Chain A
């Protein structure tokens, strides 16, 4: 249950994001052609210490845990925040756990751009990395975070022959790449630090934030939009899909909270709980965005209203770290 530190982190992060990075429709251009995130804001975020929240104090961090990091990511999801938060924060942990303290400090200071790979086929991570990759936050990346159930590595982006693609979510510059025996700049075995579990929980926390954020938008719209002489939220055909969205939030949020503690404390079954959290959050984010787009009617189909931003982020989260079928096969090995 939230303690005082956690509540304070949530409050501080939420108010900063509401002021500096509120969720917006993308408008007539559809695609965000600007920088991934305003470099001045990214520097400010680094100075606030968000990128080092859970790093040990010996690596320049604040010494908080995965539980507090998850609270941060939930708020980021709630406003569909841009920025390579996930690979930067998890990448800092990889460097710190690998004993590359200078690297960890510079990543957490926002001075090195880290991207995030999802395996696009068979992947091997040993001293070197081999496999086809889809790469999020690829633009200007110096390092790419690659992880599986056994190990996590930071590899040099220059070794991956990254080709940019036209991204679905303009705030997440995306590319494809291939590692052919790429040397790891930092390598951590899961027995040393459960990097993938951490990444799954934080991606899941983002998804819960997306699911919560879009539900709040939908509930507000349904309470205000009038048709047939009343607010449409009074109609069960509108109210009930939103109730289902609330049930998905309740479950996914509880699972993320449970998994964060389980991974932090190294409890039995923690990895499965992290995978289930990712599955639940992906489902909640996507299905809640679907429901709220429908509640908005034709307005929901436009790129000017915000539900579509949530739908795109949910879509990308469903392709972050692992696909749904892969998660299910981990939850129940044959």
Chain B
């Protein structure tokens, strides 16, 4: 393992740092779910694109920079260090839809969608889960019937973040109800502005309103929007999920390191009821030290996973290990954060810029659910890493 960066990489880091210092928005990301939230997220994405920083590791022919995974990592590190905003509504396009299209889409599909995702022109959402198909995703029932050169979709999706502001959706539908459950599924690009689509927002405990459910009533999608083959959507979806469980959340791991540092600063500057800094309290200090150790370990594990992915060319099963640890660690960080904040945690509002608030703690409940619950991750680890028998 080589932990040192080349001169070119160090120069790259300097360029990134300078650009972020000059361009990170000074105003905070708007609260709530309205159009100003979408505008903020897409404007920031557009600014990154205009600066030449969107899609650092994406191929150049689709508007990316075609740079290395190491340079992508450097970008994430500097991004966290600059306290740049959360990616928000652009998350699915940049982290799920885009990478899936790069891996599996036709040249025409790539040419249409990838540059628009990178420019922040289109917002994507993910239509995978259904009310009766959560952890057991492959039992999904949303129907897609082929009619001429169209796919006619009827059914429901749920837990669809940002559906209410999205332009496109990566949608899984059942096209062959008679096939085995992992067969008979198709992955299709759904235009969210088509007639027959109804979106309902679902309020969440962190007072967010980006969570949605989506209803489809004979929505007619061109068959040309199918990615991969009809009835081969499961394998396309798995390429998205393995990315999500692999290095797709690298930015979040680096952000967790940043959060712990913020929390340590907070504990040093806050005074407890005994008039002394909170850091002089053994319980707080050792709990913070434990979190510091845990995020350091996670960073090392992430570096190693990246290094393996570069050699192997694809994420391995250790992605589930990292994701499991990261999601539960995020909750421990936010839980300790509200302990440190004390009575200031009686409001949802950010007490400190960069993510220390009761709202962020509430939000952390979602981290062990999104992208597969911790229980599902443990099944994957048990069966695919340890070779234990299936239940």
Contacts and interface: CB of A to CB of B under 8 A. Distances in A.
Interface string A261-272: 110010100001
A257 B304 CA distance: 9
A280 B388 contact: no
A46 to B, nearest CB: 29
B interface SS class: helix
Nearest to A273: B296
Interface in B362-391: 375, 377-379, 381-383, 385-391
Contacts of B264: 332
B323 to A, nearest CB: 10
B378 A239 contact: yes
A235 B385 CA distance: 16
Contact of A254 (B4, B292, B301): B301
Given A242-B386, A250-B321, A267 B285 contact: no
Interface string A316-334: 0000000001011101101
A280 B297 contact: yes
Contacts of B3: 258, 261-262, 265, 267
B308 interface: yes
Of A247, A255, A327, most buried by chain B (CB within 10 Å of CB) is: A247
Contact of B1 (A257, A279, A325): A257
A235 B382 CA distance: 10
B289 interface: yes
Interface stretch (A29-37, A132-140, A146-154, A226-234): A226-234
Interface string A231-258: 1011110011011101100111011011
B69 to A, nearest CB: 14
Contacts of A114: none
Nearest to A284: B297
A87 to B, nearest CB: 25
A267 B4 contact: yes
Contact of A250 (B296, B322, B389): B322
Given A258-B3, A332-B285, A334-B280, A243 B293 contact: no
A15 interface: no
Contacts of B375: 236, 240
Interface in A52-95: none
B325 A331 contact: no
B269 interface: no
Given A240-B375, A332-B289, A257 B300 contact: yes
A84 B390 CA distance: 42
Of B1, B381, B388, most buried by chain A (CB within 10 Å of CB) is: B388
Contact of A1 (B1, B279, B387): B1
A235 B391 contact: yes
Nearest to A258: B300
B243 to A, nearest CB: 19
A200 B325 CA distance: 24
B311 interface: yes
B382 A223 contact: no
B298 to A, nearest CB: 7
Given A239-B378, A257-B304, A234 B296 contact: no
B379 A236 contact: yes
Contacts of B321: 246-247, 250-251
Contacts of B386: 215, 219, 233, 239, 242-243, 246
Contacts of A276: 292-293, 296-297
B95 to A, nearest CB: 22
Interface of A: 1, 215, 219, 222-223, 230-231, 233-236, 239-240, 242-244, 246-247, 250-252, 254-255, 257-259, 261-262, 265, 267, 272-273, 276, 279-280, 325, 327-329, 331-332, 334
Given A222-B388, A243-B379, A276-B293, 10 more contacts: A1-B304, A219-B386, A234-B390, A239-B378, A251-B298, A251-B321, A254-B300, A254-B301, A255-B301, A327-B293
16 contacts: A1-B304, A219-B386, A231-B389, A234-B389, A239-B379, A239-B383, A250-B318, A251-B297, A251-B300, A251-B301, A251-B325, A254-B300, A258-B300, A261-B1, A267-B4, A272-B296
Interface of B: 1-4, 264, 279-280, 285-286, 288-290, 292-293, 296-298, 300-301, 303-304, 307-308, 311, 318, 321-322, 324-325, 375, 377-379, 381-383, 385-391
